[in-house]
Structure 1
């Protein structure tokens, strides 16, 4: 019997029940509580400009938005990596218990996407009291960070993946997925760009977080270093309602993954199209959701915009059904003496439908579409 599963008599009888286990957790910091702001909800299908009443603010320079100030330092705990869950030596594929629970030998990506029902008539018997489509417990991953690295260089090239498996289909729902030919350059203490999830992460039962991240060292793969390898579980009863950072130690460093359980959550699928670009500018996009008594930020995009385009992917965020989601754009123009501009829009959570916004700038136009749905 594996040491990881010695407390099976205490585990709930769910499909992923055996992932629940006792842990020794080191916790630091605390989070204060507050109240979310509210604004009017604007219908989909109308293209209009953001007015001051529809935005939080437009500020210059280094001024911070109110919801950014509400973001608190999250708790940190050391993660327990499941025994015999490493990929490089094949242990995880020989782990008969994990194979039975979530088919870890199946390396396919989930094909499920957000169940976006923009037509309210899809809801029966009526939209206000929908028993068919209702909010669910969901996990939200807020950030990945390269917490530690043993390589004595200013930055490293990372590749590999971090993915989750939930009870919907147990296939890989990638949070980050980079090939060796397309690594990401990261400094110690910096965020690792997330490329997912493809759909919302349901947490009606425990979720398996699986990872295999490496540091590229040269031309040959055999010279590369293992950063982290294995799997951890996030059990419904031990995942807090406010963000917590799981510190995952590996052979040559550590990765911090910050997440939280969001009860009564809906999916927000964010599409961004940038048009009428007059000159090159920098753009960062973050989402803020109200969780655990404060707004918590999620960095969605950070890069240079040189031509009209749609951002590289859709962004899927878990939002408390009774709250508002906020989007913050930070826009900087090369050579400008004015300083960066911050635009803030907010969206009321819903189980169906969509909301549109259009931000008109001096050098570009940004069109937003947020489509609301529920996990299956």
Structure 2
């Protein structure tokens, strides 16, 4: 229950130097729904992804582009691996915000393209969101992560961040999941296109990351193992690497 969750977070904060923030845990299927206004507000029964793309405010009105945005940096399995073995993860993590309340994916893997994690590499490979994540009010972080031939994590949590940099821990039947993100109070949505002008035979690039002022965490723009990128429409001398949406503080 929620009191047990708070007690476990307090225990973590007493043990480690790095502070863990609190989140509010909501039931996935509340009953009766009429008593849970957040479930209707965030359109939880609608499982479609957001239909809005990036660059919504390419020509904004005065102050229209200034907003509070979320930038996710990492998700890491923080539990114990059985006998040091690997786990194969699939499922999704999505954020529902105040713009259209639909899923904006930051992790998505089908069972056929599941990701293996190990004690030496416990991070889930994030993908850039389809658009910036607006956070002037609460957001829902909805996830359903499964381990092949094993149990299931399933939870969604509205978060109301109050400080800039956050680390939260969510507990599930298989173990805890640590999420790092930042709340940028005055931010703009930026779309970064990364291209390689010349590529030799056998060209291969695994990861492209970026940094922004005021934050030490890296933002992954591209990871070859997390998603595939279509290179259509580019000349033979121009190779597309990534088109990533990020939040940048003003």
Q: TM-score, with normalisation over the residues of structure 2?
A: 0.79
> Are positions 1:182 and 2:122 aligned together?
no
Picking from 202, 205, 226, the partner of 2:134 is: 202
How far off its partner does 1:142 sit? 1.1
> Are positions 1:75 and 2:5 aligned together?
no
Picking from 145, 149, 162, the partner of 1:213 is: 145
Residue pairs, 1:353-368, within 5 angstroms: none
How far off its partner does 1:295 sit? 2.8
> Are positions 1:240 and 2:169 aligned together?
no
- The DSSP-based 3-state class of the residue aligned with 2:122 is coil
CA RMSD of aligned residues (A): 2.8
> Are positions 1:300 and 2:221 aligned together?
yes
> Are positions 1:289 and 2:212 aligned together?
yes
Picking from 316, 328, 331, the partner of 2:245 is: 316
- The DSSP-based 3-state class of the residue aligned with 1:240 is coil
Picking from 131, 137, 141, the partner of 2:68 is: 137
Segments of structure 2 that go 5 or more residues without pairing to the other structure are 226-235
Is 1:161–1:212's contact at 8 Å kept on the other side of the alignment? yes
How far off its partner does 1:300 sit? 2.9
Report the counterpart of residue 233 of structure 2 in structure 1: none
How far off its partner does 1:79 sit? 4.7
Alpha-carbon distance in 2 for matches of 1:216, 1:78: 29
> Are positions 1:166 and 2:114 aligned together?
no
How far off its partner does 1:149 sit? 4.4
Report the counterpart of residue 154 of structure 2 in structure 1: 229
- 1:212-254 Cα offsets, whole Å, 9 max, x none, are 100113xxxxxx321x21111211xx4311x221111110122
Picking from 38, 41, 47, the partner of 1:107 is: 47
Is 2:221–2:243's contact at 8 Å kept on the other side of the alignment? no
Picking from 151, 156, 161, the partner of 2:87 is: 156
Report the counterpart of residue 252 of structure 1 in structure 2: 174
Picking from 77, 92, 96, the partner of 1:146 is: 77
Is 2:55–2:190's contact at 8 Å kept on the other side of the alignment? no
- The DSSP-based 3-state class of the residue aligned with 1:113 is coil
Segments of structure 1 that go 5 or more residues without pairing to the other structure are 5-21, 30-73, 86-90, 125-130, 218-223, 322-376
> Are positions 1:262 and 2:161 aligned together?
no
How far off its partner does 1:179 sit? 1.1
